[in-house]
Amino acid sequence: MVFNSVTFLLFLVVTFLVYLKASRSSIKLGNISLLSASYVFYGWWDWRFLFLIIISSITDYLIGLRISETDSARKRKGLLAISLIVNLGMLFVFKYFNFLVDTFIELFGITENRSNLIRIILPVGISFYTFQTLSYTIDIYRRQLQPTKSLVTFLTFVSFFPQLVAGPIERASRLIPQFEKRFEFNYNQAKSGLKLILWGLFKKVVIADQTAQIVNAVYQAPETFNGTALVIATILFGFQIYCDFSGYSDIAIGTARLFGIELMTNFRTPYFALSIRDFWHRWHISLSTWFRDYVYIPLGGNKKGSFRKHLNIVVTYTLSVLWHGANITFVIWGFLHGFLYIIESIISPVSKTGKKLTQFIGLITTYLFVNFFWIFFRAENWNQAKSIVYSIFNLHEAGSNSIKSLLINAGKYTEPGRMLIFVFPFFILTEILINNKDLPATIDKIPWVVRWSLYYIILIAILFFGVLNSAPQFIYFQF
């Protein structure tokens, strides 16, 4: 079940009405209704994977209670180790087993038919909910959090359906107290939630899914396209992945607000970043802050000298890359970001209070670097990524096809072409208006005539330019 489907719309209406009724009886009954709906939502893909999230949740619920009850440092470390082994063990098996098998076969030159090998399916959202539940036990171990006594509350915290499969990765200290309060419908909160849902759908079905048709056509046969076409396709992929992932986050945050729950902001117009460091303060914020708080700072952060600081950055980026998956292209993508981050830390990144010209140069160079790095994130393998880079810099003879020929000669791509002409300027202008600010609050400040005009423009764009038939999944579901 995906957000951009009629099925989810029906599911959301029924879930909200049931929750509204149940929460009037008691907090616990309201949470039970949310928990049940969340399990239905997750089980829609494959009900068998429900056992994984239940095992992870119950394990950390019990371990959290035991850690808080004992003062023995040895026992506390042992209990935390169990939590780490269970959660990271499941994540490792389901995410990296196939990669390890394939690597073993390649190393030893095994030629046996691979169709006979065991292949493990990656459960949707496992990278997100394992990190969310891990933060719970780690915070209790650090004595920064008291465990909840309610199993229902904890299970709801782990499986809350709006952010279950692609975040934001929430902290228990922020989310659990919200599930322990009686729900009171708030019109203004719900209204701001609906605005975020509308904007998120626009970004997903209009921008991301339309640009995907062009990007996929080019990246499926990059050797047939010239360097200019590859540059344009890569830039479009930058918009695709941003609108796809941030669109999911907007819908998740907006949906949660309907239920009186505030989730953390996960994106803040990252393409207006002035440096790579600033980019990661704006992009997938919940993951960036997770690695900062549970990896970078425990390693010593920037408090143990320049060498250790840079080493800690490398370790943190390496682990964040592995979170995305075991693929050499992801490793290169992460290495490039980490390397540039270190260079910036040495020469000092562009300040938000610096000169306008310096800020402009920082914005342009950061945007160009980030988009260049996307080549390695999008490419299927190292050879394809290398070929694309060579073609862009004209280091070998490239294909003759261009974006123009793709749009003119292939009828199915005329829709994305029109979208680029009519919708993209509106999207860019809106991003400039929002820049690092809250969308609903920003919209509320403009005159009502302009505000309602924006709503209608977005609705019309969704209906006329949106990819509504196939309901493509979100890119980060694969992580």
Catalytic residues: 324
**203 by DSSP, 3-state: which?**
helix
Tokens encoding 471 = 């309901």
Q: CB atoms < 10 A from the CB of 188, how many?
A: 10
User: CA 63, CA 87: separation in Å to the nearest integer?
Assistant: 12
Distances (CA, A) of 323 to 165, 243, 479: 14, 21, 8
User: CA 281, CA 341: separation in Å to the nearest integer?
Assistant: 12
User: CA 252, CA 266: separation in Å to the nearest integer?
Assistant: 10
> Which residue, 298, 272, 294, is CA-closest to 283?
272
User: CA 171, CA 263: separation in Å to the nearest integer?
Assistant: 10
> Which residue, 344, 307, 308, 338, is CA-closest to 321?
338
Give the Cα-Cα-Cα angle 59, 65, 70 (nearest 5 degrees). Answer: 120
> Which residue, 409, 369, 478, 366, is CA-closest to 123?
478
Q: CB atoms < 10 A from the CB of 266, how many?
A: 24
What are the residues whose beta carbons fall under 8 Å from the beta carbon of 283, sequence distance 6 or more? 267, 270, 273
Q: CB atoms < 10 A from the CB of 81, how many?
A: 11
Cβ atoms of 324 and 330 closer than 8 Å: yes
Cβ atoms of 60 and 137 closer than 8 Å: yes
Cβ atoms of 90 and 126 closer than 8 Å: yes
Cβ atoms of 167 and 266 closer than 8 Å: yes
User: CA 14, CA 34: separation in Å to the nearest integer?
Assistant: 11
User: CA 411, CA 468: separation in Å to the nearest integer?
Assistant: 18
Distances (CA, A) of 78 to 66, 72, 295: 11, 10, 19
User: CA 266, CA 255: separation in Å to the nearest integer?
Assistant: 14
